[in-house]
Amino acid sequence: MEILYAVGILSGLGVLAGALLAYASKVFYVKEDPRVEEVDSILPQANCGACGYAGCRDFAKAIVSGEDIVCPVGGPSVAELVAQILGKEAAEVEERVAFVKCAGTHDRAKKRATYHGVKTCAAAHLVGGDKECRYGCLGLGDCAAVCPTDAITISRGVAVIDPEKCIGCELCVQACPVNVIEMVPKSRKMHVVCNSQDPPQVARKVCDVACIACKICTRTDKNFTMEGNVAVFTGSEGGLDTAPFVCPTNAIMDESKYRALEFVLSDAVREAFEQDKAAYKERERAERAKRAAARKAAQQKKAAAQAGGEANPATDKSAAKPSEDGDKKDDSKKSNESNKIDSSPADGDKKAKKEDKAPKAEDTGKEGE
C-alpha cells in the first residue's frame, strides 16, 4: 500500500512539475535562432578571436544576426557551409597564411647596439631594436608566443612561419610591432624576404639580404613591382622560377623549391641555392654565348649571303629557342641591357654579357656583396 503512495506521490510531483514547465515554456517562450547552434557547430572552435569576436559562439551569433563577416581560420570551406545555413552566397575567401618578410639573421643583418631589457619585440621596439635595419624582424618571438599552432620558429634572430601549420589567424600580424609579417595567399610561392624601406644605399650597408631596390626582378618578371624602396610580389601566378636567381642580394625566395625555414636559416640550403644560382648563371652565360655565336654566325651568314641586311632580333630569338625556357631568359637579357645605368651589383652580369665570348666563372659567387 505504501509503495503505491510513494509511486503516486512521485508521479504526482513529476506530472505537476512537467505540466508546470510545459505551461511555462509556452507562457515564457523566448525565441532564439536555432541557426546560431548550427553555425557554431561547423566553426573550427579554435576560439582564437581572430575574427574580432569573443570566440566561435559569439561569431556565430553575430553572423546569424546579419553581420557580414568571415572566419579567417575556417577559410572558404567553412564560409560555404555557413552560407548554406544562412542561405547566402559565400563571400570569396582566399586561404591565406602569414609570412615574415625578413631573412636578416644575426650573421646577415648588422647590429647597431646591444639590447638590455624585456625580451619581447614590443619592448625592444620601444628603443628601436638592436638591428641597424629598423624594418627587420626583431627576433624576440612575440609572434611565436601568440601563435596558436606553434607554426613560428625563432632562430638566429628571425622568425620563420611554417605555411603548412599556419591557420591564417593573423594574431602574429597584430603582435608584430615592426609590421614585418604579412598575410599572403597560401598558393603564393614566390616571396621577397625583405621589408626595408631604407634607401638602397642605406639598405645595402645594413643587411646582406636586403632588397636594394635594384628593380631587376621587376624588369625580368612582371609579377614583381616596387613599393617604395622594396620589391613585392604582386602577381597572381606563381612567378618565374628564375626570379630568385636574378636578385643580386638573394632576397627572393621560391617556396616551391625551399621551405622558408630552410631558406632563411639553413646554411646548407643557402649554399645549395647559391649553387643553383651559379648553375643558372652558368647556363645563362652559355646560353648567351651560344646566342651570340648564333648571332655572329647569322650575321656572318648574312654578311656572306648579303641578303636582307637587317639582323632581326626575332630571328635571334628563334635561334636561341632550342634551349629550355627561352622566353624567360630573353626577359632577363632585356633587363640586363636596360640595366646599364644602374649601379647595382648586376654590373658584373653586364660585363659578363659584354664579354660573353669569354665568360668568367668567378663572377658568380660575388653577387650581393
Partner 1 sequence: MKMGERKFIISSSPHIHDGSLTPRIMWGVSLALLPATLVSFYAFGWDAVRVILVSMVSAVVFEAIALMLRNRRPRQAMDGSAALTGLLLGLTLPPGISNAMIMVGTFVAIIVAKQVFGGLGQNPFNPALTGRVFLLIAFPAPMTTWPLPRDLTSQISSLKSFLGLAVERHADVVTGATPLGAVKEHMLKALPHINMGDLFFGLHTPGSIGEISALAILLGGLGLLVARIINWRIPLTIIATVFAVAFLYYLAVPPKVSGMSPVSAAFYMAVFHVFAGGLMIGAFFMATDYVTSPIFPKGQIIFGIGVGLMTIIIRLWGGYPEGVSFAILLMNALVPLIDRYTMPKPFGWVDRRA
Partner 2 sequence: MEYLVLAINAMLISNLVLARFLGICPFLGVSKRLSTAVGMSLAVLFVMTMASTVTWMVYHGVLAPLHLEYLRTIAFILVIAALVQLTEMAIQKLSPVLYEALGIYLPLITTNCAILGVSIDTIEKGYSFLGMLVYAVFGSIGFGIALVLFAGIRERLELSDVPKSWEGAASSLIVAGILSLAFMGFAGLIPG
Partner 3 sequence: MISKTFRGGIHPYYGKELAASRETEKLPLPDQFFVSLEQHIGAPVKLLVKKGDEVKAGQLIAEAGGFVSANIHAPTSGKVTSTDPVDHVSGRKVPAVTIKADGNDEWVDLEPVDSPESADPKTLLDAIRRAGVVGMGGASFPTHVKLSPPDDKPIDTLILNGAECEPYLTADHRIMVEKPREVLLGALLEARILGASRLFIGVEDNKPDAIKALEDEVEGLQLPENIKEISVVPLETKYPQGSEKQLIKAITDRNVPVKGLPMDVGVVVSNVATCYAVWDAVYNGRPVIERIVTVTGRGVVEPGNYWVRIGTPVSHLIEAAGGYEDDAAKLIIGGPMMGFAQGTDAVPTMKSTNGVLVQTRDEVQGPDFAPCIRCARCVEVCPMNLPPFLLAAAAEAGRYDVLDQDVLFSCVECGSCAYVCPSRRPLVQFIRMGKAYFRGQKKGK
Interaction with partner 2 in 128-187: which residues (CB under 8 A)? Answer: none
List the single partner that 202 binds among partner 3, partner 2, partner 1, none, CB under 5 to 8 Å by kind.
Answer: partner 3
Q: Are strands 152-155 and 190-192 parallel, antiparallel or unpaired?
A: unpaired
Kindly state the smallest distance separating residue 35's Cβ from partner 1, in Å. Answer: 39
Q: Is 91 in the site for partner 1 (CB under 8 A)?
A: no
CA distance 134 to 178: 8
113 lies in the binding site for partner 2 (CB under 8 A) = no
Q: 17 or 118, CB closer to partner 1? A: 118
Q: CB 114 → partner 1: shortest distance, Å?
A: 5
* Three-class DSSP category at 53: coil
- If we measure between CA atoms, which residue out of 46, 38, 52, 39 comes closest to residue 79? 39
| Contact in structure between 111 and 132 (CB atoms under 8 Å) | yes
Give the position of cell 574580432: 52
Among 35, 57, 111, 283, binds partner 1 (CB under 8 A): 111
* Interface pattern 1-40 for partner 2 (x via CB under 8 A): -x--xx--xx--xx--xx-xx--xx-xxxx----------
Minimal distance in Å, beta carbon 123 to partner 1? 7
Instruction: Tell whether residue 202 is a contact of partner 3 (CB under 8 A).
Output: yes
**Cα dist from 329 to 169, 202, 283, whole Å:** 39, 30, 10
For the segment 214-273, give every residue that binds partner 1 (CB under 8 A). Answer: none
CB of 20 to partner 2, least distance (A): 6
Output the smallest distance, CB 353 to partner 1, in A: 38
- Write out the three cell numbers for 344: 647595382
Residue of 165, 216, 171 whose CA lies nearest to 192: 216
288 vs 244, 265, 282, CA distance in Å? Answer: 19, 33, 10
Residue 2, binding choice from partner 3, partner 2, partner 1, none, Cβ under 5 to 8 Å by partner class: partner 2
Cβ atoms of 337 and 216 within 8 Å: the answer is: no
| Using rule CB under 8 A, residue 76 touches partner 3 | no
Query: Is residue 289 close enough to count as binding partner 3 by CB under 8 A?
Result: no
Question: Exactly one of 49, 55, 76, 177 binds partner 3 (CB under 8 A); which one?
Answer: 177
Contact present, 71 and 43 (Cβ < 8 Å): yes
3-class SS at 198?
A: coil
Pairing verdict, β 152-155 and 158-161: antiparallel
Interface contacts to partner 2, rule CB under 8 A = 2, 5-6, 9-10, 13-14, 17-18, 20-21, 24-25, 27-30
